[in-house]
Structure 1
């Protein structure tokens, strides 16, 4: 069973955008492994709270301009 775990900042994506990601990632796995994997493909989109991720000692908070308008 192919499994993709995608982490994004909380509220960065709308429901429609998440559905599009799931569809595209599933299709990517199908391209590599064949149509047989479609019903067994798991795509998990995890939303990370502001301040819950960092790089090089810089803690990130998503700017309002990048938040989903959902």
Structure 2
């Protein structure tokens, strides 16, 4: 899988949303909403730490040094 910036159309993306099953979109939106609600309930400093912790594995996986 290529990194986002390696796609030929970067930064002008094209996608066919009709190819994504509706149930996958629904479950993603539901999960994102739950996560957002949980993050709203914690202090700002802990929220920042949580966001860094959530994104660090993704960044490390897609941007190897």
**Same fold (TM > 0.5):** no
Larger-Rg structure: 2
Higher RCO (Cα < 8 Å, 6 or more apart): 1
Q: Which has the higher strand share?
A: 1
Q: Which has the higher helix share?
A: 2
TM-score, scaled relative to structure 2: 0.35
